[in-house]
Amino acid sequence: MIATEPLRVAGPGGYDVHELWYKLLSRPWNCLVVVSPERTQSTLRLASSLSELGTQHRRSPVELIDASELDLERVTAIAHSVGSKQGERRFVVALDSPLVNPVAIGVLTVADAVLMLLEKGVSKIPQARRIIEIAGRERFIGAVVVSD
């Protein structure tokens, strides 16, 4: 796990992801899933910020996958892309909540690491714990708390 306390990240559009990115590198991964208990645009914004910073840092693409509003066909395509893991390819996936859309579980099963995005005053602890159970504690890498 990254830290004993969740990292606090600035609101939408103003993410300070540098510290978060470097903490995420403390554990090897090719596919990082960013997921929230709720269906929220913040998940895609954070995943996009991490992908952009990762691409700059690594000087090779960290591919962003928008996995919101999934269906079974899209899950299969994402699992195939991520599962192939050719060379040093890295992916950051903005995942739909598996509590809202259960087919998202198919993407969680191919992830190396899962980062939880929690919204202050919105996210509920029991739902967050449920996602950790679904993803598997061994994949859970930490949490970010945002306030909109």
User: Among 2-6, 63-67, 108-112, whose mean pLDDT is lowest?
Assistant: 2-6
Domain that holds residue 24: 7-146
Task: Kindly indicate the confidence band of residue 10, based on its pLDDT and cuts at 50, 70 and 90.
Answer: very low
Q: Is residue 77 part of a domain?
A: yes
Q: Is residue 1 part of a domain?
A: no
Q: Tell me which of 133 and 60 has the higher pLDDT.
A: 133
Q: State the residue for tokens 């993407």.
A: 107
Q: What is the CATH number of the domain that holds 138?
A: 3.40.50.300
> For residue 31, what is the enclosing H or E element?
strand 31-35
Q: Tell me which of 146 and 6 has the higher pLDDT.
A: 146
Note the pLDDT of residue 85: 58
Domain count, the chain: 1
Note the pLDDT of residue 138: 93
CB atoms within 10 A of CB 104: 25
Burial 118-142 (b: 16+ CB within 10 A, else e): bbeeebeeeebeebeebbeeebbbb
What's the pLDDT tens digit per position in 69-95?
Answer: 889 999 999 988 887 655 668 899 999
Q: Report the alpha-carbon distance of residue 11 to residue 103 in Å, rounded.
A: 29
Q: Is residue 2 part of a domain?
A: no
Note the pLDDT of residue 60: 81
Q: Is residue 103 part of a domain?
A: yes
pTM of the predicted structure, to 2 decimals = 0.85
What's the pLDDT tens digit per position in 27-55?
Answer: 889 999 999 998 888 899 999 999 999 99
What's the pLDDT tens digit per position in 99-138?
Answer: 999 999 999 988 999 999 998 889 999 999 999 999 999 9
Q: Is residue 72 part of a domain?
A: yes
Q: Is residue 11 part of a domain?
A: yes
